[in-house]
Structure 1
Amino acid sequence: MNNLLSVENLSVAYGAGAPAVSRVSFAVGEGSVVALLGANGAGKSSIMKAVSGLMPSTGAVLFNDEDIGSLPARARVAKGIVYVPEGREIVGELTVRENLVLGGYQKAASERKRRIEMVLDLFPEIAEKADRQAWRLSGGEQQMLAIGRGLAADPKLLLLDEPSLGLAPLLVRRVFDRLATIRAESELAIVLVEQNLAVTMRLCDELHFLRGGRIVGHRSAEELKDETARQEAIDAYLGAAAA
């Protein structure tokens, strides 16, 4: 499998303090799902923002073998890298459909319309409320809209930051079921930031564990199907809170 994204010795610092991310390296193959797991403050979101061009960093970020480290966020979106941030950040006063139009603003009108209809087919919960203001949606529906807005841009790589945050378990399962459908029907690659190992394993191929801005461990999802290996990973990298 060819690597779509290669991150090499990535470091991110806020001001003169200790780095939030220190010399992190990982790769994402075409059509694969790679998870970054760790507690709050482990550096996961900083990595996502650096890859998407929203935060300055050092090291190398290669996309389709091209060094994109100097490109602004908008140029990275045009190349196919789309970031869905923690907290959703939808535009509440706009309708569901208008939010999706924003997601596909770089596409030609006909392609944008096709992508929006695809998203509404994938998420019937929000399709029924397409002309409703986004703030009126439930938390789970807002997360579906945030993911759908990212998909409207026709990404090659989707960066998903804590999609389960604040959702009830039933809604988490529903959101991850839709992500699994996307995986099955496309060549979309995903980098998934999560704290929840159980839901992450339903979707991903590889998992990298972070602590203090560094990658401290790596496992394949296949390895973690074994209950003993899974518990060892939790104990070693995530702590009891992740169990």
Structure 2
Amino acid sequence: MTELLSVASLSVFYGANQQAVEGVSFAVPSGSVVALLGANGAGKSSIMKAVAGLVRGTGALTFDGERIDGLPARERVARGIVYVPEGREIVGDLTVRENLVLGGYNVPAATRRTRLEMVLELFPEIAGKANGGAWRLSGGEQQMLAIGRGLMAGPRLLLLDEPSLGLAPLLVRRVFDRLGTIRGESELAILLVEQNLRMTMRLADEIHFLRGGRLIGHKRAEDLKDETARQDAVDAYLGAAAAE
């Protein structure tokens, strides 16, 4: 499987002295789902923002065989890298439909209409509210809208930052089920940031564990199907971090 995204020795600093990510390297193969797991403050979101071009980092970022670390965020979007941020950040003053159209602002009108129909079919919970204000949606519906807005841009790599954040377990399962549908019906690659190991395993092919801005472990999802193996991973990679 060819690499769509390669991250090599990525470090991210905020200000002169605050280092959020230190020397992180990993790859996202075409059509795969790769997850970054860790507690709050582990550096997960900083990695996503560096890949999206929203923060500057050192190291090498290669997308589809070409270096992108010097490109602005808008050029990365044009190449197919789309970021769905933590907290969703929908525009509450716009309707659901207008939020989706906003996500596809840079594509031809005919393509935008086709994608809009696809998104509303994928997320029927928001289809019936398409002409209503986005602020009226529940947390789960807002997450579906945020993902749908990202899909409107026609991504080749979708950067999903904490899609389960603040959602009830039933809604988390529903969101992840839809992500599984997206994955099964397209060649879309996903880089997923999460804290929920069990839900991540339902979607991801590979899982990288972070602590203190560093990668401390790597597992294939198939290696964690056994309950004992999952608990060992939690104890080794997540338990200590959660206790900090």
TM range (shorter): over 0.9
Amino acid at match of 1:40: N
Unaligned runs of 5+ in 1: none
Partners of 2:131 and 2:73 in 1: CA distance: 29
The aligned counterpart of 2:193 is 193
Partners of 2:18 and 2:208 in 1: CA distance: 22
The aligned counterpart of 2:220 is 220
Partners of 1:133 and 1:227 in 2: CA distance: 43
The aligned counterpart of 1:119 is 119
For 1:15-30, what aligned pairs fall within 5 Å after superposition?
Answer: 15-30=15-30
For 1:197-216, what aligned pairs fall within 5 Å after superposition?
Answer: 197-216=197-216
Does 2:43 align with 1:38? no
**SS of the residue 1:239 aligns to:** helix
The aligned counterpart of 1:72 is 72
1:18 CA displacement: 3.5
Amino acid at match of 2:71: L
The aligned counterpart of 2:174 is 174
The aligned counterpart of 1:92 is 92
The aligned counterpart of 1:62 is 62
**SS of the residue 2:31 aligns to:** coil
Q: Which runs of 4+ in 1 moved over 3 A?
A: none
Partners of 1:109 and 1:52 in 2: CA distance: 25
The aligned counterpart of 2:156 is 156
Partners of 1:18 and 1:123 in 2: CA distance: 40
**SS of the residue 2:74 aligns to:** helix
**SS of the residue 2:143 aligns to:** helix
Root-mean-square deviation over aligned CA pairs: 1.0
1:186 CA displacement: 0.2
Does 2:129 align with 1:129? yes
Partners of 1:82 and 1:18 in 2: CA distance: 26
1:80 CA displacement: 0.2
**SS of the residue 1:222 aligns to:** helix
TM-score w.r.t. the length of structure 1 is: 0.98
How high is the sequence identity, in percent, across the aligned residues?
Answer: 77
**SS of the residue 1:149 aligns to:** helix
Partners of 1:41 and 1:119 in 2: CA distance: 32
The aligned counterpart of 1:13 is 13
* Range that drifts further, 13-22 or 65-74: 13-22
1:183 CA displacement: 0.5
Unaligned runs of 5+ in 2: none
Amino acid at match of 2:173: R
Amino acid at match of 2:108: A
The aligned counterpart of 1:50 is 50
Amino acid at match of 2:148: G
- What are the superposed Cα offsets for residues 138-158 of structure 1, whole Å, 9 maximum, x if unpaired? 000000000000000010000
The size of the alignment, in residue pairs, is 242
Partners of 1:18 and 1:102 in 2: CA distance: 34
1:97 CA displacement: 0.4
Partners of 1:16 and 1:237 in 2: CA distance: 29
Partners of 1:33 and 1:81 in 2: CA distance: 14
**SS of the residue 2:118 aligns to:** helix
**SS of the residue 1:62 aligns to:** strand
Partners of 2:174 and 2:38 in 1: CA distance: 23
- What are the superposed Cα offsets for residues 33-70 of structure 1, whole Å, 9 maximum, x if unpaired? 00000000000000000000000010000000100001
Partners of 1:100 and 1:138 in 2: CA distance: 16
Partners of 1:227 and 1:67 in 2: CA distance: 40
